Copies of this chain bind each other. A is one copy, B any other.
């Protein structure tokens, strides 16, 4: 580690961090890159298509957004945790039930399903930090198909969704600690003794994708942060960073940054799975929980520099890069050494029965990447890219094995740096978390966009920047703005998947589906009115529903089209009801006809030249 870096660490870095957000005057880089020869590099001509999907998390919007690369164009929104009337999500009976009592989520880290350590295009998993949930999006039709949670005994689902190399599990770690089981009261002043964190293995059914809680591992009340899963030599293992190993419970911005090091968790998830099979877990709130003090071999701690934020396994599975956001280095650990240290018990005591691995025994080196390092991605060609929050830059550096000369001065392995705007958080290289990264593009997900875009008032978007990493030097290609707030993204080659665009009639098993006008019906049973409705260009059958004030109305609407993009919507005037039905789909809505009067209904999703005429009446007698 160079002297320069050491001096910086010695300075008041934490104080400097507080003001960086205001350092870059708005508009200061205006037209900085006015060389339009770069324009063609991200341009996708009208009629041509992008090469990659960019699935980015929508943060507290609760959704997942799909953009195309290299154009960076927003293509569509996949509603997950928040209602989305544009597709009727959260209005029909099925999606409403899936969302439960919640109308938002806080999506942080999308994770694509993998087979043999490569993206297989089956599913995309996303977490909800706010309500402790995990959702599964099916990439066959880009729809959210399951929301699991709130996960028992786990609070603040930030440290997920990390998918194992054959999608056996989606791994989760709690950001917050609470008294367990949930619902138990203990004053925050008893935090150190009464509160606990948790690592959870969410089991994935390989056929259906159905998720369930497989096992949990109890931890001290550290705040678990980011993680990654192993492969190759680290197959069967997973890693998380933490902050607040001080176990403070108030004014965390000061109290949780006292120690020079926090702990990373090194979890043997195959051992956890086995421990549950062996009956070594105890049920808590219906879930098998492993107490690591009683079941050795499941979890180890590894000290890493102050308040680490990211810990990323390289494509080979041997190198683990952990960055401490309050120290200007990225620590590279050698998993082969970690296994040897565990075997040889090269420990420095334990924390509550969890052995602490001696860092010097497993550290390959501390790379002086720059100020405020957070996350690291890999291009599969021996290079690593680390986001530098404080510097607002991305550093490119060389993975081990290093030459003796390189080891002597690790400054020499930092081979390029590119400024980004402003204050980068995550970054993503396509396939970085797989055995075979795509390389080529890197997307910098910047936390602040201040002054980079036309002013839209106080509520500002985030900025994402597209960087070409195909050459030796990184080069800036494009800047796009995103819905709040992309924390991380996954990139998938478009030709990996072939989504369906029409639901085949043969697959529609809804017993209330109707495919011809003659099958449509309105049936009354007491004060319940049930309607089987057909939607077709350009009419609803029936186009008249009679009811009495107070009736409970159920409408099953089938879109009988079998043509791509031939979507119908059913909106009912002044009833807060809109459902959108894709070709071949049947959806059910239930509502009360509370007021007398006549309420037109109409097709809300453009369908044909006579779309405007596609309407009917809900006529409610007093």
Contacts and interface: CB of A to CB of B under 8 A. Distances in A.
A537 B573 CA distance: 45
Given A87-B459, A600-B156, A615-B252, A479 B36 contact: no
Interface string A447-461: 111111111111111
A29 B45 CA distance: 10
Contact of A75 (B461, B563, B574): B461
A contact patch SS: loop
Interface string A224-260: 0100000000000000000110000111110011000
Interface stretch (A273-281, A328-336, A357-365, A605-613): A605-613
Interface string A433-453: 000000000000001111111
A498 to B, nearest CB: 7
A97 interface: no
30 contacts: A18-B537, A22-B563, A32-B45, A33-B45, A34-B45, A36-B40, A36-B43, A39-B39, A60-B580, A66-B456, A72-B73, A75-B454, A91-B104, A130-B571, A131-B573, A132-B574, A142-B457, A143-B457, A155-B573, A183-B597, A185-B620, A188-B544, A253-B610, A256-B613, A257-B613, A325-B609, A451-B565, A455-B501, A458-B564, A459-B582
Nearest to A482: B74
Contacts of A382: none
Given A34-B45, A45-B34, A500-B457, A61 B85 contact: yes
B610 A182 contact: no
B598 A75 contact: no
Number of copies: 2
A2 interface: no
A223 B612 contact: yes
A31 interface: yes
A200 interface: no
Given A458-B582, A578-B106, A604 B46 contact: no
A460 to B, nearest CB: 5
A333 to B, nearest CB: 22
B251 A615 contact: no
Q: Shortest 7 CB-CB distances between A and B: which pairs? A: A39-B43, A142-B457, A85-B104, A458-B582, A61-B86, A29-B47, A17-B609
Q: How large is the interface on A (under 10, 10 to 19, 20 to 34, 35 or more residues)?
A: 35 or more
A150 B600 CA distance: 14
A619 interface: yes
Contact of A567 (B131, B179, B186, B460): B460
